[in-house]
Amino acid sequence: MQVILCMATTVNGYIAKENNETPWSDVVWDSYYKIAKQFKAIILGRRTYEIMKGVNEFEKIGSPFTVVVSKEDFAHDSNFAIAKSPREALKMLKEKNFTKALVAGGGMLNSSFMKEKLIDEMYLDVEPLVFGKGIKLFSDNNFDAKLELVETKRLSKNTIQLHYKVLK
């Protein structure tokens, strides 16, 4: 199973403001939709899932099979599952014969996947922004990681995409 993380971030590593606002440029939203559409399965933290559901984001990314990681149980349809942990999320997807999955935030989910060394590659779209406070790309957790730069892409005059492999 290939597991890819994709995030838009400020220069100082925030993926949203404290109030969950994500003021990304059109080019970054387009980049996210383009990458997400390449995946038939997506994994989300419960908070991110609720935000995406509230703004009908799933159709824009091709309605992938969605696994929400949460300790809670809640109502869902057939294109959806709840997993109690990152490992359980991947096990569910393997059992359904998915070969790749997109990990799409937020900061808490990202850091629990990284802590367990479950991410293979990451795409970071870096906006020319600094937030003083907000949601971190990886919320506080006890892990370190080393990466290898695969590619850099200039998405616009102001925005770059960093593609990394996670060394294990």
Ligand X SMILES: NC(=O)c1ccc[n+]([C@@H]2O[C@H](COP(=O)([O-])OP(=O)(O)OC[C@H]3O[C@@H](n4cnc5c(N)ncnc54)[C@H](OP(=O)(O)O)[C@@H]3O)[C@@H](O)[C@H]2O)c1
Would you tell me which residues interact with ligand X (CB under 6 A)?
7-8, 15-16, 20, 22, 45-48, 51, 69-72, 84-86, 104-109, 112, 135, 139
**Of the two residues 48 and 159, which places its CB atom closer to ligand X in the complex?**
48
What residue has token string 């933290």?
45
Among 14, 46, 8, residue whose Cα is nearest residue 125: 8
**Of the two residues 45 and 64, which places its CB atom closer to ligand X in the complex?**
45
What residue has token string 């993380």?
5
Q: How far is the CB of 147 from ligand X (least distance, A)?
A: 17
**Of the two residues 12 and 85, which places its CB atom closer to ligand X in the complex?**
85
**Of the two residues 126 and 166, which places its CB atom closer to ligand X in the complex?**
126
Instruction: Kindly give the residue spans of alpha helices, DSSP state H, lying in 37-85.
Output: 46-54, 57-60
Please count the other Cβ atoms lying within 10 Å of the Cβ belonging to residue 16: 24
Please count the other Cβ atoms lying within 10 Å of the Cβ belonging to residue 112: 20
CB-CB contact of 102 with 45 (8 Å):
no
Read off the tokens for 52: 């995406």
Taking the C-alpha atoms of residue 39 and residue 12, their distance in angstroms, rounded to an integer, is 28
Closest residue to ligand X, judged by C-beta, is 106
Q: How far is the CB of 21 from ligand X (least distance, A)?
A: 8
- The H or E element containing residue 45 is strand 41-45
**Of the two residues 116 and 151, which places its CB atom closer to ligand X in the complex?**
116
Q: How far is the CB of 37 from ligand X (least distance, A)?
A: 15
Q: How far is the CB of 42 from ligand X (least distance, A)?
A: 11
